């Protein structure tokens, strides 16, 4: 059974994942004969080489000898892709299982977690089909596209509505390319492999303090130099060395604005704190909508034991039905 540690940033997910990987390895709480557990990242920005301080990536010397996957696999100039991640990370899960080991997934990028654990398909694109549909939207109007989608996939039409041309075009493109309703390709809360999700939560005041402390540590650890080096390795410019995806990361986007003269250093630092707090609430909203997540208090002194109890209950089929367990709303409320 895959163990996933999810939740908002700054709640201690990486530390718990390492603790669980140790406990679930031989000599810990893992089954006899099981190989050492391995960690699979599910963080969109930890995929990038060199984006270390700003993404709170666990340094190699602090990984306790535990194998980590889906870290440092992209250059900062490349754009991340959920579909690429799904293929690569699921290959990691296959390889870990073949070694008789346990996979511990950790990350706060909700879509990446879902893509890894759940039934989620990524239909391709066809420029010619899309161009034809976009031309129809111009000549016939989006009402014609909506009527067609309503005929072939009423559920998708009801969800998208008649005003969103871009999504109408995409839905009809998927229908044409796959021969299936667009809704058949939408993610479902259905694990592709046995899994349990452990969510970390804490009250808003505590999380805000954790975020501020984390940003202070990042500043002291060299975040400014890291972003400056990545932004333009040769001349210290304002983004030449970062692709569109990497440049949007919290902690990087704000410093790029400072380097460009749009913010002072103090304003950039304050913006990093504010945007990290905003990110945490967004993450809580995402994971809070998944009734399968088993929530634990990030500040509990018995956190590791509580998490192991969740794993044992999941393996024994004794977890409460989705929606009937502990529901924490401190961040999502």
* Residues making up the binding site: 7-14
Query: What is the spatial distance between Cα 14 and Cα 57, in angstroms, rounded to a whole number?
Result: 8
Exposure of 129 by Cβ count < 10 A (0-12 exposed, 13-18 middle, 19+ buried)? middle
Query: What is the spatial distance between Cα 221 and Cα 226, in angstroms, rounded to a whole number?
Result: 9
* Binding-site entries for substrate: 9-14
Tokens representing 318 are 């004794």
Q: Determine the 3-state secondary structure of 142 from DSSP.
A: helix
Exposure of 67 by Cβ count < 10 A (0-12 exposed, 13-18 middle, 19+ buried)? middle
CB 251 within 8 A of CB 241: no
Please, which residues have CB within 8 angstroms of residue 321's CB and are 6 or more apart in sequence? none
Exposure of 173 by Cβ count < 10 A (0-12 exposed, 13-18 middle, 19+ buried)? buried
Exposure of 225 by Cβ count < 10 A (0-12 exposed, 13-18 middle, 19+ buried)? exposed
What does DSSP assign to residue 26?
T
CB 76 within 8 A of CB 48: yes
Q: Determine the 3-state secondary structure of 243 from DSSP.
A: coil
* Binding-site entries for ATP: 7-14
């Amino acid at each position: 059974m895959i163990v996933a540690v999810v939740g908002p940033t700054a709640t201690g997910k990486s530390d718990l994942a390492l603790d669980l990987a140790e406990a679930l390895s031989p000599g810990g709480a893992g089954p006899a004969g099981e190989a050492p557990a391995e960690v699979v990242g599910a963080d969109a920005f930890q995929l990038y080489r060199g984006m270390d301080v700003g993404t709170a990536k666990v340094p190699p010397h602090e990984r306790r000898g535990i194998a980590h996957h889906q870290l440092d696999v992209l250059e900062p100039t490349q754009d991340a892709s959920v579909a690429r991640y799904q293929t690569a990370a699921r290959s990691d899960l296959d390889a870990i299982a073949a070694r008789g080991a346990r996979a511990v997934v950790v990350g706060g990028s909700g879509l990446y977690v879902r893509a890894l654990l759940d039934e989620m398909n990524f239909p391709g694109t066809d420029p010619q089909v899309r161009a034809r549909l976009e031309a129809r939207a111009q000549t016939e109007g989006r009402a014609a596209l909506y009527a067609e989608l309503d005929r072939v996939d009423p559920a998708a039409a009801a969800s998208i509505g008649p005003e969103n041309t871009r999504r109408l075009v995409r839905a009809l493109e998927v229908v044409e390319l796959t021969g299936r309703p667009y809704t058949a390709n939408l993610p479902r809360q259905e694990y592709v492999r046995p899994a349990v999700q452990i969510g970390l939560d804490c009250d808003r005041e505590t999380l805000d303090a954790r975020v501020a402390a984390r940003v202070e540590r990042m500043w002291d650890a060299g975040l400014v130099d890291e972003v400056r080096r990545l932004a333009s390795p040769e001349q210290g410019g304002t983004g030449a060395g970062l692709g569109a995806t990497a440049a949007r990361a919290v902690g990087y986007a704000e410093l790029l604005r400072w380097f460009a003269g749009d913010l002072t250093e103090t304003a950039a630092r304050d913006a990093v704190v504010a945007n990290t707090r905003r990110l945490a609430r967004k993450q809580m909203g995402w994971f809070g909508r998944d009734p399968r997540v088993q929530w634990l208090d990030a500040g509990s002194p018995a956190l590791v034991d509580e998490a192991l109890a969740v794993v044992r209950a999941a393996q024994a089929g004794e977890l409460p039905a989705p929606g009937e367990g502990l529901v924490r709303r401190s961040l999502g409320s």
